[in-house]
A and B are shown apart, each in its own frame.
Chain A
Amino acid sequence: MYRIRFHGRGGQGMKTASRILGTALFLEGYEVQDAPRYGAERRGAPIFAFVRADDQPINERGIITRPDLVIVADDSLVPVPAAGVLAGVDEHTVLLINSDENAGTWQHRLNLRCRIVTLPAEAGDRAELRFIGATCSGAAARLLGNISRESLQQAIGEELADLGSAVVANNLNKALAAYDSMQAQAGCVHPREETDASAYSRPAWIDLPFDTARVSAPDIHAAANSVEVRTGLWRTLRPVIDYERCNRCWWVCSTFCPDGAIRVEDTTPEIDYDHCKGCMVCVAQCPPHAIEAIPEQQAQEAVT
């Protein structure tokens, strides 16, 4: 059984990507199962999608813990623990990362024994990249080695039918280009051997200790500890204040920020980049247009 896991952000089309791959495999005659997994289904937040393919009916479901192929549509997710990109990745796994850094850099950085393949990322705001899903599924199809160009084409046509022929054509071009670019590594993904019942690692079951209600009620005895959740990681665009142009209007940006991520200290507004989700309301509303939207990756590079 092939077990494939996609990682992306809400809004990047991971569900569509998994369905393109699922449909392509189905057209090739496989038994297929595909499913998205929503956490908080919000634009920008990490989401997963799973695809399974086998030549017999599939007797497995739910999360994929031992992937043969992991596809990362947005490389900014790799360091995010909640995104679980590397869960179950071992020497058998092929890790495909949509990134403008090369495989060697990633190999060195992650220090894992898996094979790493990179798919060059398009420049610009990730949120605007409408083809990420298509390019990722195109590349994945070639790495699997069992999907023809024709099946990929038909799958894209089917899954994107509602979006109109121009959109389909654009996505198809991108997908086929990605497909062709993986020629050298075609078929490098293999299904893994099934777990052996005569030699398995036993689950570390425990007898759950009894906790009194003071401990075991679903209550949070803390104030505003949500600040520990760095929603800033959702961001694909960063708002940056030009303090020369900022006229200390008292304080449009801070009031309109939906997340309350702009505070005003001593008449100067300060954006909390740990939590700013990059909605750009402040950019749109700043009266002297003193806030600029910069691609997050670029902004991070400027800092380092």
Chain B
Amino acid sequence: MTRRLLTGNGAAAWGARLAATDYIPAFPITPQTEIIEDIAAWIDIGDMPARMVTMESEHSMITAAAAAAASGVRVFSATSSQGLLYGMEMLYTVAGWRAPFVLVNVSRGLASPITLEPDHNDIMAARDCGFLQLHCATCQEVLDSTLMAFRLAEDARIRLPVIVNMDGFYLSFTREPVEIPDAGAARRFVGDYDPENVRFRASSPVSQAVAVLGGAPYSYFRYESHLAAQKGLAVYDDLSAEFAERFDRDYPAIEAWQCEDADIVLVMLGSFATKARAAVDRLREAGHRVGLLRPRLLRPFPAETFRSLLSGKAGVAVIDQNISMGMGGVLHSELAGALYGQPDMPPRLLSFIGGLGGRDISMEEFFEIAATTRKAVEDGHTPPPRLMYTEQELREIRKLQAVASVEREELDNSGGLNNE
């Protein structure tokens, strides 16, 4: 065991290495590049007996990844935002091949406008495709989740690819103490890749991923993938218990902080949830009974666990670092779906959207989220979703718009420059 400072990208690369990955199809994209650079360097000096191939695009990359997995080798790959979307056709396609592999997504905001900074819209776009999703909050978690992801994907009851998500910059380029598990122990945990009957051999011909005509047969295949994804809940619980036993680090499907006696609960994904945790600590010091839920599993959606953790609570604030245009925060909608109509559910479920494109969420904003939720509980009224944006930020954008020569008339008509 070695505890050292490692970036999230470095941790992901270590996860791939410790899992005895055979094959890494790659394509560089900010902020993921260090992952493939680390792996390329290890392969070059002989520290990692794997093969890496730089493909011409992410669409090709994901195709190659799944095809290799379908041929019988253990596969790892990584991408981000625009790349994840460029490969989206193949994400849907290959999940149904029932050949497991692990894809790390380094979360970044989506065009337009094109940006390089983090948020969760990219990973949210992949929620229906059939890949399972693990969300990380620390660099340690990235390494550990990568190991768990192989076990999850390769479990006989699942056999679906898994995405491990980490925030660009906040995890990918940030160094934190990470314990790198002993190679032997990691290997024993992950085990050998067993392709089962999904592989290519001359002696046993197989036609994989064939076309299907007819609604009933098609539905069979689609429903079965869904059922397999749902098995992920039970498999994950067993898996994380085993991981905790072997490596002494505990990763429940939903991480609960100070929730038992909380009235108000914040719900948040990813690394910024650590800021929410600090906010909860400050709020507790000020006498408020606030807690935090951080789901690590987003697919399958741990609905039952949410219900049991939120039962009897007065108010819930879901903080989404993503936005579904025309609908709102995705996690908020999904949670609402899980809680609706069930007994003893919190009567107030609020939506807050922030952190898009790397926008910071300040401690004061977390306090205000809690205060707003408290007020909603007291008033018995749920306010509309809050798109977190300040007066100062609006002033700044108006200045930029003036530089960009957005016509003065337009700005005036929309109450722009004279808006204060």
Contacts and interface: CB of A to CB of B under 8 A. Distances in A.
15 contacts: A22-B175, A37-B169, A60-B275, A62-B169, A198-B285, A203-B365, A205-B388, A206-B394, A208-B389, A209-B394, A211-B410, A214-B406, A218-B112, A221-B407, A222-B405
**Chain B: interface secondary structure?**
mixed
B277 A59 contact: yes
A209 B415 CA distance: 8
A39 B279 CA distance: 28
Give the one of B175, B391, B401 with max A CB within 10 A. Answer: B175
Contacts of B277: 59
Interface of A: 19, 22-23, 26, 31-37, 58-63, 65, 194-198, 200-212, 214-215, 218-222, 225, 228
Nearest to A202: B368
Contacts of A58: 176, 274
Interface string B149-180: 00000000000000000000111011111000
Given A206-B391, A209-B419, A33 B401 contact: no
Contact of A222 (B274, B358, B404): B404
Contacts of B394: 206, 208-209
A213 B277 CA distance: 38
Determine the interface band of chain B, counting residues with CB < 8 A from chain A.
Answer: 35 or more
Interface in B246-283: 271-272, 274-275, 277-279, 281-283
B244 interface: no
B414 interface: yes
Contacts of A198: 285-287
Given A205-B365, A205-B386, 11 more contacts: A32-B5, A33-B174, A34-B174, A59-B274, A62-B170, A62-B275, A195-B282, A201-B364, A203-B368, A204-B391, A215-B416
A205 B352 CA distance: 12
Interface in B394-415: 394, 401, 403-407, 410-411, 414-415
A56 B415 CA distance: 48
A228 B403 contact: yes
B86 interface: no
A200 B113 contact: no
B204 to A, nearest CB: 48
Contacts, number: 138
Contacts of A222: 403-405
Nearest to B394: A206
Interface of B: 4-5, 112-113, 169-171, 173-177, 271-272, 274-275, 277-279, 281-283, 285-288, 358, 360, 362-365, 367-368, 370, 386-392, 394, 401, 403-407, 410-411, 414-416, 419
Nearest to A212: B414
Contacts of B175: 19, 22, 32-35
Contacts of B416: 209, 211, 215
A197 B367 contact: yes
Most buried by B among A19, A62, A225: A62
Contacts of A219: 404
Contacts of B4: 26
Contact of A205 (B5, B112, B368): B368
Contacts of A60: 274-275, 278
A33 B363 CA distance: 18
